[in-house]
Amino acid sequence: MTNLAIPHPYHLDNWQKSLSDLITNPNELIAIAKLDPKNSRFSKLATQIFPLKVPRQFAALIRPGDWDDPILAQILPKVDENSHSTSHSHDPLKEAQFTPETGLLHKYKNRVLLITAPHCAVNCRYCFRRHYDYQTNSPSQIEWEQTFDYIHRNKDIEEVIFSGGDPLALSDRRLAWLINQVEGISHVATLRIHTRLPIVIPQRITKEILEKFKNSKLKIVLVTHCNHANELTKITEHAFAKLHKAGVLLLNQSVLLANINDKSSTLAALSKKLFSQNILPYYLHMPDAVQGTQHFAVTEHKAKEIMEELRGLLSGYLVPTLVREDPGAPSKTRV
């Protein structure tokens, strides 16, 4: 328990405080992670395109003094991001074509994805939305009504996906409003929430949010984004136990990232730790060809080899499905 007299540095009892007290200064990150500034891999230029942003308690999981740490590698703006690649672009998924309403993506027949929040708690360097213009794509209240109207009219839609940004970065009040809108559409049975908050700020899983999930008539699926076993702690375990108890189906998706998790032993350890926290592996994504992320790329040949080894190490239900996203395809493509 935290001592009430001394504010806890990670605000473990107040997720909003954690979210407003992020590390954005690289020198602070370097000091906290006890990194030797002489060997710095940090790039200021990279932060101008996509800023440094990380919750303190997540940064605390970095192994002190290790520039190769798998958590540091996910959040540190590096020189590698500045090299230009002709095979990479700003919108590799051609999402603009599948946006009938502001903030709504309808690519696959029975499900739609909503950009519910304009920001995240952490800026992941490999993010395929690192160039996304949240400003123009953030629906106004009227546009939100049009979005839900679209879902009302399209009886094929059985599942609504809250994505982002990070939907759990929204206030409980805003989130409840969005959930209520979905509950009001009779042909929608499932609400899926894609979020990294339970990993990076697990105290986001409040009593209020658990009550909302528990009392919903929708089947709720929460897809966490975790790439390495080191991201899972006693505190995340507690948060996921509560979600599990509230009847939420817990899945995880990872991105296959060079020098972070591109080894079968690393991915096997991740799957086992996820399972110990009531989460089943769902997808392992090939990184999308987004400008500034080419140093994370893993070839499909290598990815297939890793998967082959992984199947020898894990029960079938702990092996994620390796997928990539092809613009225009009717679903994600199995590799």
Count the neighbouring beta carbons within 10 Å of the beta carbon of residue 250.
20
The correct pick among 225, 242, 273, 285 for binding ligand SF4 (CB under 6 A) is 225
Position among 61, 73, 127, 179 found at the interface with ligand SF4 (CB under 6 A): 127
Residue type, 61: L
285 in contact with ligand SF4 (CB under 6 A): no
Q: CB-wise, 119 or 332, nearer to ligand PLP?
A: 332
111 binds ligand SF4 (CB under 6 A): no
Number of residues that make up the chain: 335
Q: Which positions from 191 through 210 interact with ligand SF4, judged by CB under 6 A?
A: 196
Residue 173: strand, helix, or coil: helix
Q: Which of residues 142-181 bind ligand PLP (CB under 6 A)?
A: 161
Q: Is residue 59 close enough to count as binding ligand SF4 by CB under 6 A?
A: no
Assigned token pair, 223: 């897809």
Place of tokens 């140093």: 295
Which stretch, 117-125, 154-162, 290-298, 320-328, contacts ligand SF4 (CB under 6 A)?
117-125
Contact mark string toward ligand SF4, 134..173, x via CB under 6 A? ------------------------------x-x-------
261 or 264, CB closer to ligand SF4? 261
> Smallest distance, Å, CB 142 to ligand PLP?
23
Q: Which does 105 bind (CB under 5 to 8 A by kind): ligand PLP, ligand SF4, none?
A: ligand PLP
Backbone CA torsion sign across 232, 236, 238, 242 = negative
Dist CA 243 CA 241 (whole Å): 6
Number of Cβ within 10 Å of residue 318's Cβ equals 18
Give yes or no for residue 124 binding ligand SF4 (CB under 6 A): yes
Smallest separation (angstroms) from ligand PLP to the CB of 47: 27
Helices (H), 140-214: 141-153, 172-183, 197-200, 207-214
Structure tokens of 252?
């995880």
Q: Which of 240, 254, 291, 281 is nearest to 74 (CA)?
A: 254
Q: What is the C-alpha to C-alpha distance for residues 249 and 223, in angstroms, rounded to an integer? A: 8
- 3-state DSSP assignment of residue 139: coil
Q: Should residue 129 be labelled a site residue for ligand SF4 when binding is judged by CB under 6 A? A: yes
* DSSP state for residue 63 in the 8-state scheme: P
What is the SS3 assignment for 209? helix
Distance of closest approach, residue 53 Cβ to ligand SF4, in angstroms = 8
**152-182 burial: b if 16+ Cβ within 10 Å, else e:** eebeebebbbbbbbbbbbbebeebeebbebb
Annotate each residue in 91-120 with x if it binds ligand PLP (CB under 6 A) or - if it does not, as one string. --------------x-xx--x-x-------
Which chain residues interact with ligand PLP by CB under 6 A?
Answer: 105, 107-108, 111, 113, 161, 331-332
> Which residue ranges make up the site for ligand SF4 (CB under 6 A)?
120, 122-124, 127, 129, 164, 166, 196, 225
